[in-house]
Chain A
Amino acid sequence: MAKVLVVTSGKGGVGKTTSTAALGAALAQMGQSVVVVDFDVGLRNLDLVMGAERRVVYDFVNVIQGEAKLAQALIRDKRIETLSLLPASQTRDKDALSEEGVARVMDELREKFDWVICDSPAGIERGASLAMRHADVAVVVTNPEVSSVRDSDRIIGLLDSKTLRAERGERMEKHLLLTRYDRLRAERGDMLKTEDVLEILSIPLLGIVPESQDVLRASNIGQPVTVSGPDTAAGRAYADAARRLKGDPVPMTIPGEKTGFLGRLFGRRAA
C-alpha cells in the first residue's frame, strides 16, 4: 500500500527540498521504491538538489496536460535504483497544476511506488495546498525560531482541514522534523528550545537535523546528504528519521550530544 507523504512548512528556506531529497534517498537506500515530486512549479529546485537538472526532458506540468506520459517524465536516480524524481516545470506557474490533473498523477504514482514524497512550495497558496491535498502523512519542517514555528502551526491547521483525508473525517498523520538545529545557540538561548517547539506544535517529533556544512555542500554538489555523507551527523539524523517514518523504533538523539537526553524526554512522543 503506497503512502503519499508531503514535506511542508509554510515558511520558505527552512529545508523542505533538502529534507525531501534526504528522506527520499534514505528510504530508497532501505530498499523501498520512492518517487520525489517537485510541486514548486516555476521555482523548481529539487532537480538540482538531486543532481538531475541536466536530465529533465518532460515535467509534472507536461504530464498533467497530457503532453507526455508519466513514464517519460520520471527520472531514475543514477546512484539508487529504487529512487525516481518527477521534476516541476520552471517556465510555468502554479496555475498550470489542475486539481483533476494532480489527482490523476497521484493515483498513477501510488500504483508504481511504495512512497510518493511531495516537496511543497512555501506559502499557503495553490501550490502548497495541492501538494498536501492527497497526502496520507505530513512531515512539517521547522526551524527552532518563532516565525518558522508560527508558520508551521498554520500549516498544521490546514493539514487538519483542507486535505482529502481531513475532509473524509480521517486523521492526518503529522510529524515534526526540526532542522538547522544548532546546539550551541540553543544552549545560549538564542534559539527556541526543542521542548518549546514541541509544546507549541504538539505533534510527534520525527527527528532533529543539525545545522551543518555537510547539508549545504550536499545540496551544492547535487547529492542528498544521506548519499554524500551517510556518516555525517545530518546524514545519520535523516536516515534515522526515515527509519521512524517506516515504523522502526529508533531512539531520539539530539545532535552534538552524547547522552540521549532528549531520547529519554521525548522517546515516547517520537514517531
Chain B
Amino acid sequence: MSAQPKDKSSQKPALRFRGRSFLALSLAPQQPLDAWLADLDAWLERSPGFFQGRAVILDVAALPAIDVASLRSFVADLDARGIRIMAIEGGDAGGAGLGLPPAIANGRDSQLPVAAPPRGKPAPPESTTLVIEDPIRSGQSVFHPRGDVVVMGSVSSGAEIVAGGSIHVYGVLRGRAIAGIAAQPGARIFCRKFEAELLAIDGLYKSADDIDPTAIGRSVSARIIDDALVVSPLD
C-alpha cells in the first residue's frame, strides 16, 4: 500500500559497530562473602555514591566454588547497595545463566600509557597529570583515572579525589584521597597538612580513625608496604 518509491539508495540508516573503551572498576570479593559485604558497607558509609554511574565488573576468580544461586543472590546484594554489575569476569562462562550479567574475559588492568621508544624525532610525551589550582570544595569530586592529580589548594572535608596514579595536595587534605585505582600499588598520596577523612591506594583503605593520630596536622606521605597502607610523616 505504501506509495513510497523503493529507491535502492534509500535513507536506511547504516548499522554501525564501533569499538569503544571505558574504564570499569573491578570488584574482587573473597570468602567469606558476609564479611566482605560488611567491609563494603563500611566503605560505602564513608563514600556513598562512589559506585554510582560507574561501570563495575565482578571478578569472581577468588570464588571458584560459587554456585549460580549464590552468585545470583550475591549480585542482588550488590544491587541493593546501588552497585550495578555490568559483567562477570573470571568465572566459568557456561555457569552464568539468565538473570545474571554476561561473562567476559581478557580484561586488562588499565595502566598509564607506556611511551613508545623514541625513534627519529621523539614526540613530547603526553602529560597525564591533572593540576588543579583552586581549592576542592565540600561535595566536589575529582575523578582522574589515568594519571596523577596535583592540587595546589586545600581539599575540604566532604570532597573527594580519585586518581589512577598518585595524589599530591599542597594545601590541607581534609577530605578523601583515593589513589592508584588504575591498579597501581606503587601510587602514593602526599599532602602538606594531613587531616584527611579517608585514604586509599589500590583498593586498600584507611579511615581517619585507623590512622596514627600523631600524623594529624603534619606533612605526610602514604604508600603501600607489604599489603598495608602506611602513613608516615615527611618532616
Contact = CB atoms under 8 A, between A and B. Distances in A.
A13 B154 CA distance: 27
A157 B157 contact: no
A150 B140 contact: no
A199 B195 CA distance: 14
B132 to A, nearest CB: 12
A154 B138 contact: yes
A156 B134 CA distance: 12
Nearest to A155: B137
Nearest to A10: B138
B154 A200 contact: yes
Contacts of A119: none
Interface residues of B, number: 15
A151 B153 CA distance: 18
A160 interface: yes
A200 B137 CA distance: 9
A157 B139 contact: yes
Interface string B136-164: 11111000000000000110111100000
Interface range on chain A (Cβ under 8 Å from partner): 10 to 19
A154 B139 CA distance: 6
B157 A202 contact: no
B139 to A, nearest CB: 4
Interface string A126-156: 0000000000000000000000001101101
B134 A150 contact: no
B156 A153 contact: yes
B171 to A, nearest CB: 8
The DSSP consensus for interface residues of chain A is helix
Q: Max chain B CB contacts within 10 Å: which of A151, A153, A156, A200?
A: A153
B219 to A, nearest CB: 16
Contact of B158 (A124, A154, A156, A160): A154
Given A150-B156, A150-B158, A202 B135 contact: yes
A153 B134 contact: no
A151 to B, nearest CB: 8
Q: Max chain B CB contacts within 10 Å: which of A124, A154, A158?
A: A154
Nearest to B136: A157
Contacts of A153: 137-139, 156-158
A160 B139 CA distance: 13
Contact of B134 (A124, A151, A158, A160): A160
Interface string B43-58: 0000000000000000
A153 B157 CA distance: 9
Contacts of B135: 202
Contacts of B156: 150, 153, 200
Interface string B90-134: 000000000000000000000000000000000000000000001
Contacts of B159: 157
Contacts of B134: 160
Contact of A160 (B137, B138, B157, B174): B137
A200 B136 CA distance: 11
Contacts of A151: 138
A71 to B, nearest CB: 39
Given A150-B158, A154-B158, A160-B134, A202 B139 contact: no
A146 to B, nearest CB: 8
Nearest to B140: A157
21 contacts: A124-B139, A150-B156, A150-B157, A150-B158, A151-B138, A153-B137, A153-B138, A153-B139, A153-B157, A153-B158, A154-B137, A154-B138, A154-B158, A157-B139, A160-B137, A199-B172, A200-B154, A200-B174, A202-B135, A202-B153, A202-B154
Interface of A: 124, 150-151, 153-154, 156-158, 160, 199-200, 202
Interface of B: 134-140, 153-154, 156-159, 172, 174
| Shortest 10 CB-CB contacts between residues of A and residues of B | A157-B137, A153-B138, A154-B138, A154-B139, A153-B156, A157-B140, A153-B137, A150-B138, A156-B137, A150-B157
